[in-house]
Amino acid sequence: MNTQSNAVPASPREPHEIAPTVISAGRRMYWSVRRELWESRSIYIAPLAAAGLFLFGFLISAHHLPDKMRAAAALTPMVQHYELIEQPFTLAALLLMGTAFIVQVFYCLDALHGERRDRSILFWKSLPVSDLTTVLSKASIPLVIVPLLTFAITVATQCIMLLITSAVLLGSGLSITTLWTHLPFFDMSLMLFFHLVGIHALWYAPIFGWLMLVSSWARRAALLWATLPLFAIGIAEKIAFNTSHFGTLMGSRFGPGTEGLGSSKAIGMSMAMLGEPGLWKLLSDPGLWVGLAFTAAFLAAAVRMRRYREPI
């Protein structure tokens, strides 16, 4: 007698659904910033090259330092303090800050234009990273990464300069007491930090925002499109009203700060002047907050522009 099995035939195994991995916004921002550091090596190569060049020149001129110290006996104490102790450290800081500004400008011009030019935007848009995250990560380079990196490289450069100077003086039989007691190294570093944060990050923010907006829009010659409209507005105002308010506004923004900050104080040959009148006075300047509002508007427009612009 044939017996039939009551067993229920096994159904094909249903595939298990894999829950999608949720990546937090902070982690996406972190990896987006790391991507910028990987792709834009000039961010740290240019300041390091400038620091190395300055140290090379400083090392060559260091053998004249003992003779200068002996000849400084006839100078006033203030001149001795500035020319022999403080001036080389100030020049190193000014050189690296100038290099940092150049890096910031050219990075912003190429930040969104470059990915459209090499068509890598098609790949990056296929990833689960929003246009907002991408633009903010790129904006963090000139506003956060470059100032902090410049501060670290500058302090390291000045430390090496201090060690070289001490070694040269000791090798010549001179005392290093004057050098170590009269060089306000900590105050110089603190004022340098305030200057980089206040001026190179906050005060220059609308400049970088405008450059990033142009980078997201221009098909070619981004530098020309970034500067030509500004000159055109200034010339049109001069012809129509015989005034130069826009030029004065641009001059104060491209300069170290407002009239209250004083350009001579910010770029003077004393490290103490780099920090005057202080970060807190800068934060109370209405021009700073107006500039930050324009920066937010420029970045918002850059986000929208990146969403709809096609590769070049």
Q: Is the dihedral of CA 183, 189, 194, 195 positive or negative?
A: positive
Residue 133 maps to a domain: yes
pLDDT score at 270: 39
Does residue 227 lie within any of the structural domains? yes
* Count: domains in the chain: 1
| Structural domain span for residue 273 | 41-308
Q: Is 107 exposed, middle or buried (0-12, 13-18, 19+ CB in 10 A)?
A: buried
Residue 265: predicted pLDDT: 39
The pLDDT value given to residue 145: 94
Residues with pLDDT less than 70, the chain: 1-22, 66-84, 174-175, 178, 255-279
Within a domain: 168: yes
For residue 239, is it within any domain?
yes
Q: Is residue 23 assigned to a domain?
A: no
Residue 11, in any domain of the structure: no
CA angle 156, 200, 232 (to 5 degrees): 145
DSSP state of 274: G
In a domain, 30, yes or no: no
CA distances from 203 to 39, 44, 105, 188, 196 (A): 26, 22, 14, 20, 10
What pLDDT shows up at residue 69? 66
Q: In the Cβ-directed half-sphere of 192, how many Cα atoms lie within 13 Å?
A: 30
Residue with tokens 């890096």: 103
Determine, yes or no, domain membership for 181: yes
Token pair, residue 242, equals 């015989």
Tokens, residue 52: 């190395």
Q: How far apart are CA 254 and CA 290, in angstroms?
A: 15
Interval 141-192: pLDDT, tens: 999 999 999 999 999 999 999 888 888 877 777 667 767 777 778 888 888 8
Q: In angstroms, rounded to a whole number, what is the distance separating the alpha carbons of residues 187 and 45?
A: 27
Between helix 245-254 and helix 205-217 the angle, nearest 10°, is 100
- Residue 73 is given by DSSP the state G
DSSP code of residue 63: G
pLDDT of residue 98: 92
pLDDT at position 297: 95
